[in-house]
Amino acid sequence: MHELISLIRVFISKSICLLGSRYAKKRIDAEFDAGTFRMKILVVEDDQSVRETLGMVLEAYDHQPDLVDDGEQALVYLESHWPEVMLLDLSLPGMSGEEVYAEIRRKFGRVPPTVVVSAVQQGEERVRGLPGALFLPKPYTIDDLAKILEDAAKARRAA
């Protein structure tokens, strides 16, 4: 099983290099070389295949993803870790993404720079109610992900 996971990671890493645009690849490579774009990223996503694939993509770009599948796990994680960026799905079991965001703010008095990821209609409107959150509509490309992570990193540095 471990060998299969390693092979999948290598395949995804190579695919990203082939599929990613020149802009994203050059920019990310330059920032990686400078040591400025490596981030600890909390991924809150209930769909296991999406969560694991996103984790592998982030690892391929040398980020450090931590993966949880619901809001309760995100709250437990945040008690002992604080990521540079949180990728948060709106449609989660139990608490919605909005409820998770509000509970983080209530419990900790702050929220990590957040990218809300969603395929739901009116997702962008719903995100407007989450101060400072960025929106990434599903489906998205590697370029879209790279750009919004760059925007989130800039927001983190500005905070």
Q: For 104-128, what is each residue's pLDDT tens digit?
A: 999 999 999 999 999 877 878 888 8
Distances, alpha carbon 42 to alpha carbons 4, 19, 31, 135, in Å: 24, 24, 20, 16
Check whether 48 has a pLDDT greater than 90.
yes
- State the Cα–Cα distance between residues 77 and 59, nearest whole angstrom: 19
| pTM of this prediction exceeds 0.95 | no
DSSP, collapsed to helix, strand or coil, labels residue 56 as: helix
What's at 142, amino acid-wise? Answer: I
What's at 63, amino acid-wise? Answer: H
Q: Which domains does the chain have, with CATH numbers?
A: 2-158 (3.40.50.2300)
User: What pLDDT score does 134 carry?
Assistant: 95
Check whether 25 has a pLDDT greater than 60.
no
Task: Provide the angle, in degrees to the nearest 10, between the axes of the packed helices 97-108 and 71-80.
Answer: 30
**Cβ–Cβ under 8 Å, residues 114 and 58:** no
Q: Mean of the per-residue pLDDT values for the chain?
A: 82
Check whether 30 has a pLDDT greater than 90.
no
